[in-house]
Structure 1
Amino acid sequence: MAAAAVAMPVALALPSEADLPYEEDVLRDPHSIRPWRRYLAARAAAPLLERAVIYERAVRALPGSYKLWHAYLLERTAAAEPHRGEHPANEALNRAFERALATLHRMPRIWEMYLAALLEQRLVTRARRAFDRALRALPVTQHHRVWPLYLRLAALPSCPAETSIRIYRRFLQFDTSRADELVELLVSAGRWQEAADHIVSVLNGGSDVSDNDRALLLKLCDLLAKHADEVAGLKVEAVLRGAMREFPDEAGRLRALLAECYARRGLYDKARDVFEEGVTTAATAAEFALVFEAYAQLEQSLVAAKMEKTADEEGDKLVTGCWLADGDDGDMCLARLERLLDRRQELLNGVLLRQNPHDVAQWHRRVKLFDNEPARQAATYVEAVRTVDPAKATGKPSTLWVSFAKMYEAHGNLDSADEVFAKATQASHRSADDLATVWCEWAEMQLRHKRFDKAIALMRQATAEPSAEVKLRAAAAAAAAGDDEPAQLKLHKSAKLWSFYVDLEESLGTLASTRAAYEGAMAARAADGDQLRLVPRGARLFEDSFAAYEMGANLFGHPHSKPIWDTYLERFVARHGGSKAERARELFAEATRRAPPHDRARLFLRHARYEEEFGSAARAMAVYDEAARSVPASDRASVYEAYAGRAAELRGVPKVRRVYEQAIESGGLPRRDALALCLRLAALEEALGEAARARAVFVHASGYGDPDADEEFWAKWSGFEVRHGDERTFTDMLRIRRTQKHAKTPGVHVNGELKDEKKKRCADQLGATQSKRQRV
C-alpha cells in the first residue's frame, strides 16, 4: 500500500517529450545545480506535485545545496499556509524540514522557517523540542534569531505555565535585561514567592541601579504589600523603607503600600502611623494627595465595616444598659475620619511650606486656619518669624511681625504686643522701609489706645541716628557674616518714617518739637518737596518756614526742588509783597539760575509779573528782554509774544514795534516761529496804516517762507497787495516767489531748517529719478 502511494506521484510525474532535454542535462551532470535550476524554471507553471518530484530528485543528488532546499521549502510553506492543524500538507512540510536539517542544521534561516511553521501549526510539544535542537545545533552568536520565536511559543495560550516559566528562565541566561517579563509571568501564574525570589536575585546581582532595577524594586514592594502572607523570608517594612530612601519621588505610593500591608494583617494602628508619617512629611502636593486619599479610604472602609458589624450584632447583645460592656467603637472611627478631613487644609499647607519655608503668604494662610485657637496661632507666628529668612523670603516678612503683634492687641494683651514689636525692631529686615513699617505700626497701635506720649517717644527713638560705636560694631558683625549693612543703621534716613513722625508732631507736639522734627528730616536728607508743608502758626513762624524752604532748596536738586521753589516764591510774595523787593528779586534770580533751561521761561514770566505788580514797567521790560535772550530757542517765540503783549499795555505801539524787530533781527528763532512773528508785525503795521513798512516786513519774511509749504504766508501777502498795492507791487511779490521757487536760494535761515527741508526734497526727487532709471 505504501509502495503504491509512493509510486503514484512518480507515475503522475513522468517526464514528457518537452522535458527530455532537461532530463538529459541532469543525467549528464546530476551533481551540478545549474541543470536542476533550469529544469525547475522550465516547469515553473507545473503543479506542486510535479515540481516536488523534481525537487526531491535534486536534493537527493545535492543534499547540501542551500539554494535548492530553500526554494523547495518556500514552495512547501506557501502550499501549507491555507491549512491548519493536522493536515497532510503540514505533515509533508515538516518531513521536508527534517530532511533538510539533516544536512543543513547549521543554517539559521532554515531553523527559523521550520520553527515559524511549527508555531503556526500550534504544535507546542514538537515546537519546544525543535527549539531545543536549534539552540543546540546553532552557535551562541546565532541564538538571537531563535529566542524571539521561542518567546512567542511561551506566550501562546496553549503553552503550560510551567513550560513558559522554564523557557523564560533559560532566556534570562542569554539576556538578563528582560527579567521583568519573567516576573510578570510568575505573577500572572500566582507564584508570588518565586517572583519575589527572582527579583531579589536580580537586584543583588547588579551593581548600579538602572531603570529596569527600579521597576523591579517597585514591583517587589507591591508584591510584599499585597501578598505578604504568601512571601516568606523578606522583611516587608525594611524593603519598603529602603525603597523610599532610594526613590524619594515614589515615597507616597510606597507608604500607601506599607500601610495597606499592615491593614491587610489587621494592624490598623500601625497603618495609621504610616499614613500620618506620609501626610506630615510629603514633599510635593501630588505625593500628599496620593497618601491622603489612601488614608481617607482606609478610614472610610473601617467606618463602613464597623457599621455593618454593629447592624449584624444589634440583636445578639447579651449585656445591655452598660456602656462598659459595649465594644462598639464605630463612633471613634467616624470621629477619626472627620478629624482627618478637617485637617486636610492644614496638612496641605504644611506641604507647601516644606517646599518653600520662606513663603510669607503661606504662613499667613496657616495662621488663618487656627482662627479659633489663639495658642496655635501664637505658636505658628513664632515658628514663622524664626523660619523665614528675609534675604530668601517671597513677600514682606515684616507683615508677620505686625500681624503677630496685632493678634495680641485683638485679645487685649498690649504688653505682649509691645514685646513682639520690640523684638521685630531688632530682627533682620530686607530693607529700611520694612523696618520703618514696623515702627509706624507700633506707633499706630499706641495711638489707637490713646497712648500719645509713648507713640511720640517711639518715633523719636526710631528717627535717632545710631552712634558711631554702634555703626562700627554693626558693620564689623555684618562683614564677618558676609551680609549687607543692617536696616537699623539706615532707618534714620527713611522718608516714610520721618513723614509719619512729622505728621505726629504736627498733630500732638508743640511748635518747637514740630520745627525740630522738620529740621531733623531735612538734616537726614529724608524729606522731599511734597513733605515740606509747614503750616504757619503765627507771624513769628514765617521766617522759620522761609529758612526751611531755603534749606530744602539747597539740599535738593531738580526736579525735587521745583515744588520747593514754587511754594517758597508764592509764600514770600504773598507775605511781603513789594516791601522786600530786592530780596524777592534775588530769589527769582536764584531760582532761574538753578532751574533747567526748559523751565526758565516760566520763572522769567513770573518775575516779570511781580515787577509789573510791585516794581516798575522799566524793570518788567528788562526782565522780558533778559528772558528773550536767555531761554532756549524753542521757548523764545512764546516769550516774545508775552513781551509784545505787555509792551503794548505798558509802553505803547513804538515799544511793541521794537520788540518785534528785535525778535526778527536777533536770530536764533526756528523758521516757522520767525515767520509767525513777521506776520504779526506786518498785521500791526497794516493796522497802523503803515503800508510801506508792512510791505517791507513781508519782503523780509519771504526769506523764511517756503514757496511750496507756506501757502498761508503767500496768501496773506497776496491779500495785502490786493488791498494796499498796485500792479507793480503785486508783480514784485510774484517775482520774489518765483525767484525763490526756481533758484531755491534761501534767505535768512534759522537753525538751517529751510535748507534741510529743501535738501530732503531734492534727495527724494533724485532718488525717484534713479529708481525710474533702474526700472527702465
Structure 2
Amino acid sequence: MSSTLVANGAIRQPDVHLVVRPIPESPPRRSADLTDEDSVYEQDVIRNTGSTKPWLAYISFKRQHGTVQEQAFVMERACIQLPRSYKLWKMYLQFRIKHVGKLNPALFAAEYRKVNSLFERALILLNKMPRIWEMYLGFLLKQPLVTITRHTFDRALRALPITQHNRIWALYRPFANSAAGETAVKIWRRYMQVHPEDAEDFIELLIQVGLCTEAVQKYIEILNNPRFISKNGKGHFEMWSEMVDFMVDHAAEIETGHESGIDVDQIIRSGIVRFADQRGKLWVGLATYWSRRGNFERSRDVFEEGITTVMTVRDFTLVFDSYTEFEESIIGTLMEVASIRAEKGIADEEADFDLDIRMMRFEHLMDRRPFLLNDVLLRQNPSNVPEWEKRVALWGENKQEVVNTYTNAIAAIQPKKAVGAFHLLWANYAKFYEKGGDIRNARIIMEKAVKVPFKSVAELADMWIEWAEMELRNENFDEAVRIMAKAVQAPKRSTVDYFNETLSPQQRVHKSWKLWSFYVDLVESVSTLEETQKVYERIFELRIATPQTVVNYANLLEEHKFFEESFKVYERGLDLFSYPVAFEIWNLYLTKAVDRKISIERLRDLFEQAVEDCPPKFAKVLYLMYGNLEEERGLARHAMRIYERATRSVSDEDRADMFNFYITKSASNFGLPSTRPIYEKAIEALPDDEARDMCLKFADMEKRLGEIDRARAIYGHASQFCDPRTNPSFWQKWEQFEAVHGNDDTFKEMLRIKRSVQAQYNTDVNFIASQAIARSQQRRAEEAAGIPQDQDQDRQVADAMAALERQSRAPVGFVAARSGPEGGKGVTPPEPKVVPPPVANPDAIDLDVD
C-alpha cells in the first residue's frame, strides 16, 4: 500500500525547516514512516483532493498525536496541494509564528527569515487578504528590519483596496512613530492624504522632528479648512493661538516669504483685528517675534503701535510692561558690554552714544505713560469729559498744549453722547483765558458754547449761568443782566413744552426754572424793585413758577411793606398749585394774614376757602388755626362749631386726637356737662379700640360728676367690644368701679355681662380660627420637643366644650357689701371675701350674704 502511494506521487517531500530547541530536529519522514492511522487520513486526502476538510482533520489528528515536525510536514503538504486556501495558510502561518515567537529575533534571524519567506509564498496568491498582511506586518515589527518592514507596509497598501487601508495604518502609524526622523515624516505625509483629521498628531511629530515651517503650514491648512473638527475638542481660536505661540517661540526657525507662504506679521495682525479681547497679548507676541528674529527696531515699532492703538487699560498695561522690560533688557546688555570695554580700556564713542540715546528713549517712555493711559480711555469713549479734563491737568503750565487739548476735546465730543458735564469743559476753557486776562477770547468761547446742542436744557442753562458769573467776577453787572435777559428771551406767549425732547435745548431754555431763578436773584441784587417785579411777573406768565417762587416773591413784597400785593401773590400761587403744595402755601398765607390782624370777616372767608377742598390728612392744622382764631378774636361757640366740623373732616388717624382736643376746649369753655354729646359722637364715630378708650374717659367724667348710673351704663356699652381675654384692664376697672360704687345686684349684672361677652367672642368665627391656629402651632411645638400627644383630639375638644358649658351654668356667690343710699354711693365697702366655688370657674365669685 505504501509503495502504491509513492508510485502515484501522492506524497512529496517538502522542504520543511523548523527550529525546536527542546527537541532535536528529526529527518523528514518518508512514506515508509507512515503509520496505519496516517494511512486513513492519507486515503481521505487522495480521494478529496480539492477539499480542505480531510487536511483539517489530518492536522487536528497530528496536533493531538504527532510531533512538531509531523504537524509542520502535514501543513506544508496541505498548503502545497491547496495554495489558495486562506484557512490552511492562516493555520500554518500561526503555527510557525508561535513556534519562533519565544526566540530572540536578533540571535535567530535565520529562523525568522524562513517564516518571512513562508509569508511571501502565501502572499503570492493571498495578497488580497488583509488578515495575512496584518499577521506578516505584525511579525516583521518584532524584527530589527526597518527598511524591509517599511517596504512591506507599502506593498500592503498597494495590494489591498483603500477600504482595507485603515487596518494597515493601525500598524503603520505606531511603526512610523517608533522609527521617528525623516522616515516617520514621510509615512505621516502619506497618511495625511487619506486621514486629514489626524493633522494635530502630525503637527506634534513635525515639532518633535524640528520641521517648524512645515508645522506652521499644516496649522494654516487646517485653520483654513472650515470643515476640520479637532479630535481633541479644540476650538478654532485655541488652535490659532497655539500656532501663534509656536511661531513666536520658534521665530528664528520658521522660514517666511513667498516660498513658504508664511507671513507671521500678517497672521498676528489679522488676529489683532479679529480678536479684540486678545489684542494686548497679540501685540506683545508680535513684538517678541521680531525681537527673536534680531530685528529690534521693528520690535520697538510694534510696541509703539500697540500702546497707541489698544482699547483697554488691561491690554495697555500688558503691552507697556513688556515694552519697558524689552528696553531694560537692551539697556542692560549694552551696559554690560560697556563695562567689559571699560575694563579692557577700549573706547567706543558710537556705542556710548547709542546707550545714551536708548536711556533717553526709556525715560521719555516712562514720562509718556500717563498720557498714553489717558489716550486709551479716550479711545474707548472720545466723549468722556472727565478724561479730557484729566488730560488738560496733565499738561500743567504748558499753555499751548492746554489750548490744543481743549480744541481737540470740543471737536471730538458729541454733545448728545457726552459722559459728564460737557458745559463745564466749555466753562473751564473760557476760565483758562479769563485767568490769563484775555476776557475777549473768554467771551468768544462763551458765545460759541451757548450755541452747542447740549444733551439737556439744564446743561445749556448752566452754560448761560457760567457766562453771567464770569461777567460778575469781572464786575460787569450790567453785562451779566444783559446776558441773562438774552438767555430767557422768549415770545410773549410761549407754547413750547419744556419736556419735548424733539426740540433743541435752545428752543426750550427760556422755560428753565434754574435760569429764571438765577436771573431774578441777579436782578434783585443789582436792579430796582420794579425790574424785579417784572421778572417775577414774567415767570408767572410763562407758568413756570414753583412754590419757592411764590414764597420768594411774597417775601420780597412784604420786605418792602407791600402786604396786600404779597397776599395776592399767595393767591396766585394757590391758583397754580393743588394739594399737597397748596397746603404749605395756605399755611404761610394764613399765618401772615393772621399776624397782620386783618378783619375777622376776611380771615373767616380765607379759612373757609382753605378748608373747602382740603384733603383729610392736611385738614387738622388748618382747622386748629381756624378754631384758635375764633377763640382769640371771635366767639367761643363759633370755635366749637369749627372743632366739631374738624372731627368730621380730618383723617381717621387724626380723628381721635381731634375729639380729645374738642372735648378739652368744650370743657374749659362750657364745663364738663357740655362734653356729653361730644363723647357720644366720638364713641359712635371712632373704631372699637379708640371708642373703648373714649368710653373709659367718658365714664371717668361722669364719675367725677357723681353720675354713677350714667358711668355704669357707659361701662355696659363699652363692654360689647372688650373681650375679657384680650382686654382684662377694662374689666378690672369696671370691677373696681362696682366694688366702690356698686351693690350685689350691680356686681352680679357686671359678671353676667362679662360671661355673655365672653360667650359671644367664643362663637366668633375669626376668634375661633385664631384659637385653632394657636392650638395647632402649640401642638407642633410640643411634637418637635418630643412631648407625647393624645391621639384622640376630638375627645379633648368635646371634653373642653362640656366643661365650658358646665362652667357657664354654675351658680355665682356674692359677699354682701354694707348697703347705702343709691346702691352704696359714697360708702366704701369692705374687702370682698373670695370663697372657692364648687365648680372650677375663674369668673365665679362667692360672696357671703348677711
| 1:373 counterpart residue number | 398
Q: How does 1:494-573 map to 2 (within 5 A)?
A: 494-530=512-548, 532-534=551-553, 535-536=555-556, 538=559, 540-573=561-594
Residue 604 (structure 2) pairs with residue 582 (structure 1): no
Q: Please give the alpha-carbon distance, in whole angstroms, between the structure 2 residues aligned to 1:78 and 1:522.
A: 120
| 2:753 counterpart residue number | 736
What per-residue deviation string (whole Å, max 9, x for no partner) do you get for residues 362-410 of structure 1? 3333333323433323322322233233443443433433333344444
Q: Please give the alpha-carbon distance, in whole angstroms, between the structure 2 residues aligned to 1:256 and 1:221.
A: 13
Change (3 A) 1:498 1:61: farther
Once the two structures are TM-superposed, the CA of residue 458 in structure 1 deviates from its matched residue by 3.1
TM-score normalised by the chain length of structure 1: 0.79
Q: Secondary structure at the match of 2:726?
A: coil
- 2:594 alignment partner AA: V
Once the two structures are TM-superposed, the CA of residue 681 in structure 1 deviates from its matched residue by 0.8
| 1:758 counterpart residue number | 764
Q: Secondary structure at the match of 1:282?
A: coil
Q: Please give the alpha-carbon distance, in whole angstroms, between the structure 1 residues aligned to 2:107 and 2:646.
A: 121
- 1:695 alignment partner AA: R
Count of residue pairs brought into register by the alignment: 742
Q: In structure 2, list runs of 5 or more residues that go unmatched.
A: 1-14, 30-34, 46-50, 230-235, 780-790, 796-850
What per-residue deviation string (whole Å, max 9, x for no partner) do you get for residues 283-339 of structure 1? 44455445444543443344345445544555999999xx9x997232222111111
Question: CA contact under 8 A between 1:226 and 1:260: conserved in structure 2?
Answer: no
Once the two structures are TM-superposed, the CA of residue 570 in structure 1 deviates from its matched residue by 1.8
| 1:277 counterpart residue number | 305
Q: Please give the alpha-carbon distance, in whole angstroms, between the structure 2 residues aligned to 1:590 and 1:205.
A: 86
Change (3 A) 1:58 1:333: same
| 2:369 counterpart residue number | 344
Change (3 A) 1:639 1:3: closer
- Out of 502, 506, 521, the position equivalent to 1:484 is 502
Q: Please give the alpha-carbon distance, in whole angstroms, between the structure 1 residues aligned to 2:588 and 2:258.
A: 92
Question: CA contact under 8 A between 1:398 and 1:437: conserved in structure 2?
Answer: yes
Q: Please give the alpha-carbon distance, in whole angstroms, between the structure 2 residues aligned to 1:247 and 1:113.
A: 53
Q: Secondary structure at the match of 1:689?
A: coil
Change (3 A) 1:734 1:774: closer
Q: Please give the alpha-carbon distance, in whole angstroms, between the structure 2 residues aligned to 1:41 and 1:411.
A: 121
Q: Please give the alpha-carbon distance, in whole angstroms, between the structure 2 residues aligned to 1:646 and 1:71.
A: 132
What per-residue deviation string (whole Å, max 9, x for no partner) do you get for residues 169-224 of structure 1? 22232234555665665565555666677778x59996999949957985897599
Q: Please give the alpha-carbon distance, in whole angstroms, between the structure 1 residues aligned to 2:319 and 2:754.
A: 93
Change (3 A) 1:140 1:722: same
Once the two structures are TM-superposed, the CA of residue 430 in structure 1 deviates from its matched residue by 1.9
Question: CA contact under 8 A between 1:463 and 1:491: conserved in structure 2?
Answer: yes
Q: Please give the alpha-carbon distance, in whole angstroms, between the structure 1 residues aligned to 2:245 and 2:344.
A: 45
- Out of 701, 716, 727, the position equivalent to 2:718 is 701
Question: CA contact under 8 A between 1:221 and 1:240: conserved in structure 2?
Answer: no
Change (3 A) 1:594 1:56: farther
Question: CA contact under 8 A between 2:247 and 2:289: conserved in structure 1?
Answer: no
Once the two structures are TM-superposed, the CA of residue 163 in structure 1 deviates from its matched residue by 1.7
Question: CA contact under 8 A between 2:76 and 2:92: conserved in structure 1?
Answer: no
Question: CA contact under 8 A between 2:249 and 2:289: conserved in structure 1?
Answer: no
| 2:412 counterpart residue number | 387
| 1:431 counterpart residue number | 456
- Out of 685, 703, 716, the position equivalent to 2:702 is 685
Change (3 A) 1:82 1:732: farther
| 1:619 counterpart residue number | 638
- Out of 347, 353, 360, the position equivalent to 2:385 is 360
Deviates more, 1:720-729 or 1:306-315: 306-315
Once the two structures are TM-superposed, the CA of residue 730 in structure 1 deviates from its matched residue by 1.0
Q: Secondary structure at the match of 2:580?
A: coil
- Out of 724, 727, 737, the position equivalent to 2:744 is 727
| 2:3 counterpart residue number | none
Once the two structures are TM-superposed, the CA of residue 675 in structure 1 deviates from its matched residue by 1.8
Deviates more, 1:238-247 or 1:720-729: 238-247
Question: CA contact under 8 A between 2:587 and 2:622: conserved in structure 1?
Answer: no
Deviates more, 1:496-505 or 1:680-689: 496-505
Question: CA contact under 8 A between 1:225 and 1:257: conserved in structure 2?
Answer: no
Once the two structures are TM-superposed, the CA of residue 544 in structure 1 deviates from its matched residue by 2.8
- 2:52 alignment partner AA: H
Change (3 A) 1:466 1:438: farther
- 2:406 alignment partner AA: Y
Percent identity over paired residues: 35
Q: In structure 1, list runs of 5 or more residues that go unmatched.
A: 746-756
Q: How does 1:63-102 map to 2 (within 5 A)?
A: 64-65=85-86, 69=90, 73=94, 80=101
Question: CA contact under 8 A between 1:224 and 1:236: conserved in structure 2?
Answer: no
What per-residue deviation string (whole Å, max 9, x for no partner) do you get for residues 715-773 of structure 1? 2211111111101011111112222332559xxxxxxxxxxx93312344678999999
Q: Secondary structure at the match of 1:395?
A: coil
Change (3 A) 1:373 1:33: farther
Change (3 A) 1:560 1:102: farther
Query: What is the root-mean-square deviation in Å for CA atoms of aligned residues?
Result: 5.1
Q: Secondary structure at the match of 1:328?
A: helix
Q: Please give the alpha-carbon distance, in whole angstroms, between the structure 2 residues aligned to 1:33 and 1:352.
A: 93
- 1:560 alignment partner AA: V
| 2:146 counterpart residue number | 124
- Out of 668, 679, 682, the position equivalent to 1:660 is 679
| 1:714 counterpart residue number | 731
Question: CA contact under 8 A between 1:217 and 1:243: conserved in structure 2?
Answer: no
Once the two structures are TM-superposed, the CA of residue 620 in structure 1 deviates from its matched residue by 0.6
Question: CA contact under 8 A between 1:402 and 1:441: conserved in structure 2?
Answer: yes
Residue 176 (structure 2) pairs with residue 154 (structure 1): yes
Q: Please give the alpha-carbon distance, in whole angstroms, between the structure 2 residues aligned to 1:563 and 1:361.
A: 41
Question: CA contact under 8 A between 1:221 and 1:254: conserved in structure 2?
Answer: no
Once the two structures are TM-superposed, the CA of residue 551 in structure 1 deviates from its matched residue by 1.9
- 1:758 alignment partner AA: D
Q: Secondary structure at the match of 1:377?
A: helix
| 1:597 counterpart residue number | 616
Deviates more, 1:290-299 or 1:65-74: 65-74
Change (3 A) 1:573 1:21: farther
- 1:153 alignment partner AA: F
- Out of 409, 416, 421, the position equivalent to 2:441 is 416
Question: CA contact under 8 A between 2:128 and 2:160: conserved in structure 1?
Answer: yes
Q: Please give the alpha-carbon distance, in whole angstroms, between the structure 2 residues aligned to 1:449 and 1:23.
A: 139
